[in-house]
């Protein structure tokens, strides 16, 4: 069995896709990875919208200046949190995001986090997504994840990135 570190090393932000579709089991695994993530008190405040409609993907790609890859993605996930359900929704949704990114890498799919919360406010990305996707007011949008079959892979993460400046042993 492959160690999880293999997927952790392999996971890169991949932003160009062939246009082919992942298989159904791969999309099912992505959904499982999201839903099986930990959450504070097990309150599960995170929601997932899976978008595969080509016209909608184009619209999603325009909500921030850093979302272009969504247009050619096979699917883009929109990740929402419910602050009324948990004050730790950002942490919980971030954990679910990382699960998805690692599962995508493990299946050799390309994926990239697209920030929505607290970014490009002049473009009102959250408001646009709310209108496009019928997101209720009580839910907040954290981010999107574009996913597709990558045109090319990037180098793996390596030991060179173990940053001694940021690594503290026993105390700071």
Ligand X SMILES: Cc1cc2nc3c(=O)[nH]c(=O)nc-3n(C[C@H](O)[C@H](O)[C@H](O)COP(=O)(O)O)c2cc1C
**Residue ranges that bind ligand X, judged by CB under 6 A:** 12-13, 15, 66, 112-115
CB of 12 to ligand X, least distance (A): 4
CB of 17 to ligand X, least distance (A): 13
Nearer Cβ to ligand X, position 16 or 115?
A: 115
Q: Taking a C-beta distance cutoff of 8 angstroms, is the pair 52, 19 a contact?
A: no
CB of 134 to ligand X, least distance (A): 23
- Which segments within the chain are labelled E, that is strand? 46-51, 75-81, 110-115, 140-148
Phi and psi angles of residue 154, each rounded to the nearest 5 degrees, phi first: -110, 170
Nearer Cβ to ligand X, position 42 or 158?
A: 158
As given in the structure block, the two tokens for residue 108 are 């050799």
CB of 114 to ligand X, least distance (A): 4
CB of 169 to ligand X, least distance (A): 24
As given in the structure block, the two tokens for residue 39 are 């959450």
Rg (CA), the chain: 17
Nearer Cβ to ligand X, position 65 or 83?
A: 65
Nearer Cβ to ligand X, position 93 or 139?
A: 93
Distances (CA, A) of 72 to 1, 54, 125: 33, 8, 19
Strand partners, 112: 146
Q: Taking a C-beta distance cutoff of 8 angstroms, is the pair 60, 51 a contact?
A: yes
Rounded to 5°, angle at Cα 107 from 20 and 55: 35
Nearer Cβ to ligand X, position 1 or 162?
A: 162
């Amino acid at each position: 069995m492959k160690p999880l570190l293999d997927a952790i090393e392999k996971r890169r932000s991949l932003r160009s896709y062939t246009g082919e579709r992942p298989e159904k089991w791969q999309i099912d695994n992505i959904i499982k990875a999201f839903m099986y993530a930990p959450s504070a008190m097990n309150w599960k405040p995170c929601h997932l919208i899976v978008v595969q409609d080509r016209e909608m993907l184009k619209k999603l790609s325009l909500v921030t200046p850093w979302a272009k890859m969504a247009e050619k993605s096979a699917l883009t996930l929109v990740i929402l949190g419910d602050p009324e359900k948990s004050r730790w929704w950002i942490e919980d949704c971030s954990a679910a995001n990382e699960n998805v990114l690692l599962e995508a890498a493990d299946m050799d799919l390309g994926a990239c986090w697209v920030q929505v919360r607290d970014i490009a406010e002049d473009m009102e990305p959250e408001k646009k997504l709310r209108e496009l996707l019928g997101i209720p007011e009580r839910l907040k949008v954290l981010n999107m994840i574009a996913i597709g079959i990558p045109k090319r892979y990037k180098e793996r993460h390596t030991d060179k990135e173990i940053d001694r400046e940021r690594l503290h042993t026993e105390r700071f």
